[in-house]
Amino acid sequence: MILSVIVSSSVKSFFQLIGVLLVFIFVLALTYFCTRWIAKYQKGINVNKNIHVIETCRLTNNKFIQIIEVGQKCLVIAICKDSVTMLCEIERDALSWVPGESGQTPVVNESFQELLAKLKDKIPRK
C-alpha cells in the first residue's frame, strides 16, 4: 500500500514537471514569434523615403554631429540631449558617399563574413 502511494506520487510529480516544461517551451516560442512579428511591423512603419542619415559622429555621450539628406539637400546637424541644431548645408559633391548613388556602397552594408575576414587579416599570426 505504501509502495503504491510513493510510486503514484513520483509519477504524478514527473507528469507535473513535464507539464511545466511544456508550458515553458510554449511561452518561450510564443514570445519569440511575437517579438519577430512586432519587429517586422515596426520596420514597415518607420520607412523614411525623404530623410536619410548619411553619417554620425559622436562627440560625447549625449552629443552627436550628423550629416543627413533631406530631399535633395545635405545638412549637418548637432544633436544634444535637449536640442537639435542645424549647423550648415553642404553640397552633395563634397561627400565621399551619398545614398542612392550607383556604384558606391557604404561600409555599413558589408556582411558580417566580410567584416570578420577583414578583422582576421589585421590580427597577427603567431
Of the pLDDT bands very low, low, confident and very high (cuts 50, 70, 90), residue 99 is: low
Predicted confidence at residue 124, as pLDDT, reads 77
More confident residue, 83 or 95: 83
Helix, strand, coil in percent for the chain, rounding step 5 = 50, 25, 25
| 74 CB burial (10 A radius; 0-12, 13-18, 19+) | buried
Task: Give whole-number Cα distances, 56 to 18, 35, 64, 68, 84, in Å.
Answer: 51, 28, 7, 9, 14
State pTM to two decimals: 0.45
Q: Is the separation of the CB atoms in 66 and 75 below 8 Å?
A: no
Of residues 33, 30, 92, 104, the one with CA closest to residue 67: 92
